[in-house]
Amino acid sequence: VWDAITKKKDYGRLDIGKGKKVVVEFSSPNVAKQFGIGHLRSTIIGNSISNILEFSGHKVIKINYLGDWGTQFGRLLAGYQKSGRENLLLKDPINYLQKIYVKANNKKYDESAREWFKRMEDGDRKALLLWKLFKGFTMEDFKKMYKLLRIKFDAYEGESNYNKKAKELLEELKKKQIAKKSKGAYIIDLEGQGLGTVVIEKSDGSTLYATRDLAAAIDRQKRYKFDKMIYEVGQEQKLYFKQLFKILGMMGKDWSKNLVHADHGLYLDKNGKKFSTRKGSMVFLKDILDETIALAKKEIKKRDSKVRKTEFEERALKTAIAAIFYGDLKNNRTNNIVFNPKKFVSFEGDTGPYILYSYARASSIIKKTSVKEKFQVYDLEDKELELVKKISQFPDVVLNAEQNLSPAIIANYSFSLAQSFNEFYHVCRVIGSEQETFRLALVQSFRQTLKNSMKLLGIEVLEKM
C-alpha cells in the first residue's frame, strides 16, 4: 500500500507486455470527407487502448488506415469532371468535395464513377493527380484535428497503399482456389462457416475494401512481425472482420488467431436516435468541438471571471477535450452512448471536468507548501484509509483494463478515485494539521495517480480550473 504513496511517478507501470509488439489500428477516417462523429469513437478508444498497452509494457504501433481508395473516389472524380470548378474547390476544399460527392451519389453517375475508379486502379495519370489533390486537402484538415486532440500515429497507411498488393493477392487466392468465379466477379464462399460470401474482385477487375484489407494485414505482419493486431472499428463491421480473419486462416496464416476486432457501439443523439448520416446532414467533429468549447467557456467564466485570455482559451480547449473523451470512455465501448455535450461538460457528477477539477484542487494544496520526503504515519481516519486503498488499486485496474481492452475500467476508477479524494478533503484538514506531512504525501500521490489515469485515457490535466 505504501508503494502508492512513495513511488510517485511510475507507480503502477506493469511489465506484462514484455515488449511484445501490438499493432493498434484506429481512427481510419475517409478521405475527401469531413471528419465525422462516426470516426471520433474509434479515435478516442483506439488512442486509449494504445496508451494502456504501452503502459503495461507492450511495444505499440499505432496505424491510421485511411479510407483513401475505392469506388467512392471514382464517384468523386466523375462528379468533379462533370461540374467541378477549381476556384470553388480552392476556397473551401472539403465542403466543396462533399457537395460534389453528394451530387454524384446518384444512379446517373454509376457508369462514369466505375470508369474513373478503374482508371485510378490502372494508374491513369490524370485520375491519380486529381485524387492526390483531393487527398492532400483532407489530410491537412485531419492533421490539424489530431493535433488539437493530441492524438499521434506512428504511421498513416491508407487503403491506397494496397492497390498493387491487392492485385497480387487476388492471383494467389485464385490459384489456391480459395476464390471462385461467380457472375464475372470473384468471391470467397464462407457459407459453410455461417459467414456468408465475400466479393474480392469486381467483374471489371477492380479491387474491393476486403481485398485491400487482406493485403494490408499480410503486409503488416511481414513488416512489423506483430504478436497481436487490434482493429478499433465500429460494430457495423463485426461480420466483416470475422470474414477477414477467417479468410486469412484459410490462406494458412496462423497468426490470424492473433487478430482482434475491438468493436464499439454508436453515438446516439440527445433523443436517443442514431446520428443521421443522410445525405449532407452528417455531424462533424469540428462543430461538436466548437459547441463543447463554448459550453466549457461558460462554466469556466462562472468560476473564475478574471482568467486571462490565453489561459482561458487553453483551459476551455482542454476542458472540452476532457469532457468529450471522458463522456465516451466512461461507457463500455460496446454500448451505444448518448452524445450530450451539455452533460459531458458539467463540472458536477461523473464527468471529465469534475475529475480535472479534483486534480486542480489537489494541485492548489500542493502549491501552497512543499511536500516533504519523510512523513509520519499514525492511525488513519476512515476517509484517509479509503483514499490510500483506492490509490493502491491502480496497478490492478490497469491490468484489468489491459486484459479487457477496456478504457472504461480506467475511467470509472478515475471517477471513484476523485470522489475518494474529495471526501477525504471534506473531512481532513491538510495544511496546518498535525498530520500535515502525511496528508501532503497522500494528496501528492493521489494527484500523480489521477494524472496517470487520465493520461491513459488521452486526457491532459489542468493545474488550475
| Site membership for ligand ARG, residue 263 (CB under 6 A) | no
**Is residue 406 at the binding interface for ligand ARG, with CB under 6 A as the rule?**
no
Give the residue with the Cβ less far from ligand ARG, 67 or 341. Answer: 67
Edge-to-edge strands of the sheet including 197-201?
180-182, 185-189, 197-201
Residue 157 contacts ligand ARG per CB under 6 A: no
| Number of chain positions touching ligand ARG (CB under 6 A) | 8
How many CB atoms neighbour CB 192 within 10 A? Answer: 6
Does 256 participate in binding ligand ARG (rule CB under 6 A)?
no
Between β-strands 185-189 and 180-182, what pairing exists: parallel, antiparallel or unpaired? antiparallel
Shortest CB 196 distance to ligand ARG, Å:
17
Residue with cell 463554448: 294
Does the footprint of ligand ARG cover residue 67 (CB under 6 A)? yes
Name which of 269, 401, 285, 283 is nearest 336 in CA terms.
269
Cβ at position 154, least distance to ligand ARG in Å? 16
DSSP codes joined into one string, 146-158: HHHHT---SEE--
* Residue (243 or 412) nearer to ligand ARG, CB: 243
Nearer to ligand ARG, 149 or 322 (CB): 149
Decide if residue 30 touches ligand ARG (CB under 6 A): yes
Question: CA 221, CA 455: separation in Å to the nearest integer?
Answer: 29
CB distance 25 to 46 below 8 Å: yes
Whichever of 25 and 402 has its CB closer to ligand ARG, that residue is: 25
Q: Using alpha carbons, select from 454, 312, 448, 416 the residue that is nearest to residue 3.
A: 448
Candidates 24-32, 262-270, 424-432, 452-460; binding stretch for ligand ARG (CB under 6 A): 24-32
Rounded to whole angstroms, how far apart are CA atoms 217 and 261?
A: 13
Of 66 and 391, the one with the shorter C-beta distance to ligand ARG is: 66
Q: Which residue is nearest to ligand ARG (CB)?
A: 67
* Smallest separation (angstroms) from ligand ARG to the CB of 421: 39
Contact by Cβ (8 Å): 79, 101: yes
**Nearest to ligand ARG of 39, 202 (CB atom):** 39
Can residue 35 be called a binding residue for ligand ARG (CB under 6 A)?
no
Q: Which 3 state secondary structure label does DSSP give 458?
A: coil
Binding string, 194-233, against ligand ARG, x = CB under 6 A?
A: -------------------x-----------------x-x
Burial grade of 242 (CB within 10 A; 0-12, 13-18, 19 or more)? middle
Chain contacts with ligand ARG (rule: CB under 6 A) = 25, 28, 30, 65, 67, 213, 231, 233
